[in-house]
Structure 1
Amino acid sequence: MYAVIKTGGKQYCVKEGDVIQVEKLNLAEGETVEFTEVLAVNNGSLVVGAPTVEGAAVSAEVVVNGKGKKVVIYKYKSKKDYRRKQGHRQPFTEVKITGIKAGKAE
């Protein structure tokens, strides 16, 4: 059984037991979260929502909050003595999928 969920402007195909990194959620480690924007569920037969599947939900447990690898932004203009260096580390939340509720079959 798998489901396609939407969170943080991105879509993820998840199965029970998967550990995924999503955009930062304001939750502490060990808390549970329920993703209700389920776009599709496959439990033997594929159910695709329009735009979401009614009654479907994916529950997950927060494993860790962290920051990704540093991305360096460097701006440079030749012969003008212009140089700017900036770094960025994108925050993320790592969650473990604990259950998938299929919802209504159509």
Structure 2
Amino acid sequence: MYAIVEIAGQQFKIEKGRYIYTHRLSGEVDAALASDQVKVLLVDNAGTITVGAPTVTGATVSATILEHLKGEKVIVFKKKRRKGYKKKNGHRQYLTKLQINDITI
């Protein structure tokens, strides 16, 4: 069984017991994810696919916030040749690690 869900503006394919990394969510570590933060768009239950319009009614996902962390560093480098213009910037995205506990229809 798997589901396609929308969390914090991103879509994920989730299964029970898996971990996902999403943009930083409000909530404490070891707390359950609020049901209004997750929109279930599609559910596949042993080959039976249910597509929502826009969400699947009655379908819920329970998840636990495991930790808040920062992603890998991304280097942004800009240069214009022969002009002496160089800019170097770094960025680390704030992330939340979630564990999917259960998917119910």
Aligned residues: 102
Q: Which amino acid aligns with 1:80?
A: K
5+ residue gaps, structure 1, are: none
Alpha-carbon distance in 1 for matches of 2:38, 2:59: 7
* Runs of 4+ with deviation above 4 angstroms: none
TM-score, scaled relative to structure 1: 0.89
5+ residue gaps, structure 2, are: none
**What is the root-mean-square deviation of aligned Cα atoms in Å?**
1.2
Q: Which amino acid aligns with 2:5?
A: I
**Residue 74 in 1 paired to residue 102 in 2?**
no
CA displacement, residues 17-71 of structure 1 (integer Å, 9 cap, x when unaligned): 0111111101121011035410011223111101110121111001111111000
Alpha-carbon distance in 2 for matches of 1:71, 1:89: 6
TM-score, scaled relative to structure 2: 0.90
Alpha-carbon distance in 2 for matches of 1:37, 1:8: 9
> Among the aligned pairs, what percent are the same residue?
38
Q: CA deviation at 1:16?
A: 0.9
